[in-house]
Amino acid sequence: VQLVESGGGLVQPGGSLKLSCVVSGDTDSGNCVGWFRQAPGKEREGVATILTNGDSPYISDSVKGRFVIPRDGAKNMVILQMNSLNSEDTAMYYCALADVPRAYCNGDSWRFRHWGQGTQVTVS
């Protein structure tokens, strides 16, 4: 299975970005797609997750009200819509895939076996 992120870049504070994650290959390898981020010197943080059938979206408290993980994307693509960005959102953003029971499709990175290469988001 392969995961490829896109959509990162440089944005001014208050701006928006839309990240995309395309999942290909053995997509039956997982049922839960997550977005994580890691800033230099900080631990990896779970930002948002959703089941591949579009159910059970999860948004972390740190971005709730600003980030959205829409339910209506294609089965093999997961979107992360990021609004009202600030400097604290600057990080490398990763897409990941897990095979977990519904209740465990959340921001725990250790549950995710397959990872993309990441896309850089810089807010400045």
- 89-115 pLDDT, tens digit per residue, is 999 999 999 999 999 999 999 999 999
**Per-residue pLDDT, 53:** 87
Q: What is the DSSP string of 51-104?
A: ETTS---EE-TTTTTTEE--S-S-TTEEEEEE-S--GGG-EEEEEEEE---GGG
Scan for tokens 């819509």, then name that residue. 81
Q: Are 39 and 93 in contact (CB under 8 A)?
A: no
Q: Does pLDDT of 73 surpass 70? A: no
Q: Which of 29-43, 60-74, 79-93 has the lowest mean pLDDT?
A: 60-74
**Per-residue pLDDT, 119:** 98
**Per-residue pLDDT, 59:** 96
**Per-residue pLDDT, 74:** 61
